[in-house]
A and B are shown apart, each in its own frame.
Chain A
């Protein structure tokens, strides 16, 4: 199972771009890299997933280098409502999915 390591917490200001890097040195060939977001008092929700290179959607971008040993979640121009915990998963699917402690992002005015 792919073990991931990410910063415990990060602070940012409104309007800034936030990049959260996750390392997953032992990621398997078939594993996807998936990021979830969890607001206080809510369940996690899927935000983005990729296998290699770059993926972009309406919420975030995900950058994955060729060796796939790390990935970076990029949140453009954050607002106060982006304050949440962000989980990086080396997702092998189903019951093998492991949620670590995540990165607590605090956006200040």
Chain B
């Protein structure tokens, strides 16, 4: 199993540009998550999904959108990139959202907005 994969690894955007961060998992997990991590900080939840066709906002959703058309894929869309969105983005998945459930993380996408 490849686990959780993310593309691209690095990206530089200009202010106002848009892009989609790709995330895929091959573990047949129902739950998927997008986090951002700013330097020296913990992870903040952007959006999550409990299954195909079902998504919901996390702690910091403004400026982002998601979709979940399949169990495997959970892309994150940035519209009108701003310097405040410079961060490392991690995608994660888990089998369920039940107590004790553990999350599996991808390698991350490092995004810089100039």
Determine if chain A interacts with chain B.
yes
Interface size classification for chain B: 20 to 34
Q: Is the CB of A91 within 8 A of B100?
A: yes
How far, in whole Å, are A102 and B42 apart by their CA atoms in the complex? 7
Residues of B near A42 (CB, < 8 A) are 105, 107-108
Q: Is the CB of B99 within 8 A of A97?
A: no
Which residues of chain A in 3-51 are interfacial with respect to chain B, using CB atoms and an 8 Å cutoff?
A: 30-32, 34, 41-46, 49, 51
Q: Is the CB of A94 within 8 A of B105?
A: no
Q: Is the CB of B92 within 8 A of A32?
A: no
Residues of B near A98 (CB, < 8 A) are 42
Q: Is the CB of B42 within 8 A of A101?
A: yes
Q: Is the CB of B103 within 8 A of A46?
A: yes
Majority SS at the chain A contact face: loop
Q: Is the CB of A101 within 8 A of B41?
A: yes
Q: Is the CB of A95 within 8 A of B108?
A: no
Q: Is the CB of B100 within 8 A of A32?
A: yes
Which residues of chain B in 1-28 are interfacial with respect to chain A, using CB atoms and an 8 Å cutoff?
A: 4
Which residues of chain B in 86-114 are interfacial with respect to chain A, using CB atoms and an 8 Å cutoff?
A: 90, 92, 94, 96-108, 110
Q: Is the CB of A101 within 8 A of B40?
A: yes
Residues of B near A93 (CB, < 8 A) are 96-101
Q: Is the CB of B99 within 8 A of A30?
A: yes
Q: Is the CB of B42 within 8 A of A87?
A: yes
11 more A-B contacts (CB under 8 A) besides A34-B102, A43-B106, A91-B99?
A42-B108, A43-B90, A45-B104, A45-B105, A49-B102, A94-B96, A95-B31, A95-B45, A99-B43, A101-B40, A101-B41
